[in-house]
Amino acid sequence: MAFSQRVDGPDRPAPGNSTVQYRTVSAKKRYGDHSVARSGDSIDVRVQRSKAAVLAQTYELLSAGGIGGVSIDEVSRRSGVSKTTIYRHWPSRAALLVEACSTIGSAPPVPDTGSFGGDLAALTEELAEQLRSARWAAVLPSIVDAAEREPELAGLHADLHARLMAPFGVVTERARARGELAADRRQDDVSAAVAGPLFYRRWYSREPLDSAFVRRVVEDALVRLR
């Protein structure tokens, strides 16, 4: 945008000359970079809004049909964001899936009941509850399947597993320090002892993850681990 500005100083016409000169001054020169900043802010907001819409629809498709149910065409159709724009932000379907899944399966808080048995029971009950109700529980099997063939998704699977199992590592270290577990007991031993039976029942036998079953899993794990 440009404005006309009256000329003063040496370029102003001599007295008696009725002609008044004007020169064109750009908006940027007159007002600085504020208009450019406002324009940039507007673009950033639109970009963020588009990315959020794409990620939301990707996660909806993941929840409904697993990784196999996600295509760029369908994400574009449902989000209203063009495929060109999607590929500008994510160079591949796998890259989009990685970001869409990056926040699922947040680690539960680490309990501190004062004993390894109490901590293990609290963590196992929380894991069972997530398997019953959290959206990631419906998505994880397809991530495991895709990880066998796509390296990017294998990394996603490894990160998700590490995030979910991290609290078991904390309570394991604490129990070893208190002498409640042998020094050679590792986090993998503990998490496998409780997560294995829960995962089997959730995705294979599809039996209920009720309180009685969770209690038996904890009791059996404590017998084997000590």
Give the pLDDT confidence of 50-72 residue by residue, as tens digits: 999 999 999 899 888 888 889 99
Which pLDDT does position 152 carry in this prediction?
83
Computed over its alpha carbons, how large is the radius of gyration of the chain? 30
The residues of the chain scoring below 50 in pLDDT are: 1-14, 16, 18-37
pLDDT digits (tens, 9 = 90+) for 121-139: 999 999 999 999 988 888 8
Which pLDDT does position 87 carry in this prediction?
96
Which two structure tokens, joined as six digits, stand for 80?
Answer: 């209203």
* Other CB atoms within 10 A of residue 46 CB: 10
Which pLDDT does position 42 carry in this prediction?
63
Residues shown for the chain: 226
* Other CB atoms within 10 A of residue 125 CB: 19
Measure the CA–CA gap between 99 and 59, rounded to whole angstroms: 10
Note whether 96 and 86 are within 8 A (CB).
yes
